[in-house]
Amino acid sequence: MTFEQLKSFLAVVKHNHFTLASQELFISQSSISKHIKSLEKEIGIELFKREHRTITLTPAGKEFLEFARESVDGYEKMQRNLYKYKSEESEIITIGVIDTMIEYGLATLIGDFHKEHPNIQIELIERGNNSILEYLSVSKFNLGFVSNLGSNNKILDSYELFSDNLVMVTSENHRFLENRTIALDKTSKEKYIALSGDPTLHNIFLNVWGNLNFFPYVSYIDSQTKTLLALVSENMGVTLLPDTIATSYKNNINSHIKIINLFDNLCAKIYLVNKKNKKLSKNETLFKNFALKWFDKQTS
């Protein structure tokens, strides 16, 4: 029985879906299935009932769930307890990044840092914004690039790196086809799509329609920005995104979207964050200071 099998089991229980479980763990659906099958084979008991397109826990699966949670929680607690024994001279830095950071020069930043510090390795953990904040809170890593702080601003030291104007993104056949700019209060009948855990749209709508107790319909997806934009291109809804992200997607991946500027003065911000009162290692401090100076040069 492996830690990966237990994590796969818990992810399937959480989502009741193999595909969503694979997206959370950033592994293939076939790997999830193999983990579950090998786990069931090892203990000799079926953990899930598979009927048509639905999956549910068997009675044995429900009992096994308690063991799996305790085992994973215990393992992660042990990792956190042992973290303090890591040498400050460790040559590996682990950094959490949102999936859109590559569009803001992350690869060039890492390359420039490596030129000055060739012996320091960097491990990037790509997760959603909320997951990065959660991992920081339990010290799974100490540095992260995020697009919003949520309610964590009191426990984080945050450094604003830059801001990016928000734009509306629609399909190329949307009824706003002829619009080059639009005011948000004209979009109340639109169906919006947003990433789960991202409060951006909620906060914007609160400012635009909050006094009327009205919000447009928003469909949330537990996925990445590319999936969000793919749905928009199929006319499943509209969304608001930073201009840099939308333009890069249109130019390099799928030209079948339309980018509309907003009359409203709205922008997204990117932050470098670390947990307050958490001492960074020597190498983490080197990277943090390097990144702050690097982005300052890019925006000056």
Q: What is the CA radius of gyration of the chain?
A: 22
Least confident residue range of 63-72, 77-86, 278-287? 77-86
Concatenated DSSP letters of 80-108: HHHHTTS-TT-SEEEEEE-TTGGGGTHHH
Give the whole-angstrom CA distance, residue 211 versus residue 217: 17
If you average pLDDT over every residue of the chain, what do you get?
Answer: 87
Name the band, by pLDDT with cuts 50, 70 and 90, for residue 87. Answer: very low
Q: Do the Cβ atoms of 97 and 144 come closer than 8 Å?
A: yes
Confidence band for 90, pLDDT divided at 50, 70 and 90: low
Q: Report the number of secondary-structure helices (H) and strands (E) in the chain.
A: 10, 12
What is the pLDDT at residue 83? 63
**Are 274 and 157 a contacting pair, CB within 8 Å?**
yes
Average pLDDT over residues 76-97: 72
The CB density around residue 294, as the number of other CB atoms within 10 Å, is 16
pLDDT tens, residue by residue, 237-268: 999 999 999 999 999 888 889 999 999 888 88
Work out the percent of the chain whose per-residue pLDDT is above 70. 95
pLDDT at 100 over 90: no
**How far is 139 from 79, CA to CA, in rounded Å?**
10
Query: What pLDDT score does 237 carry?
Result: 93
β-pairing, 92-97 vs 121-126, is: parallel
Confidence check: pLDDT of 19 > 50: yes
In contact, 186 and 156? CB cutoff 8 Å: no
- Angle subtended at Cα 210 by Cα 205 and Cα 212, rounded to the nearest 5 degrees: 125
The per-residue pLDDT for range 157-206, each reduced to its tens digit, is 999 998 999 999 999 999 998 889 999 989 989 999 988 877 778 788 88
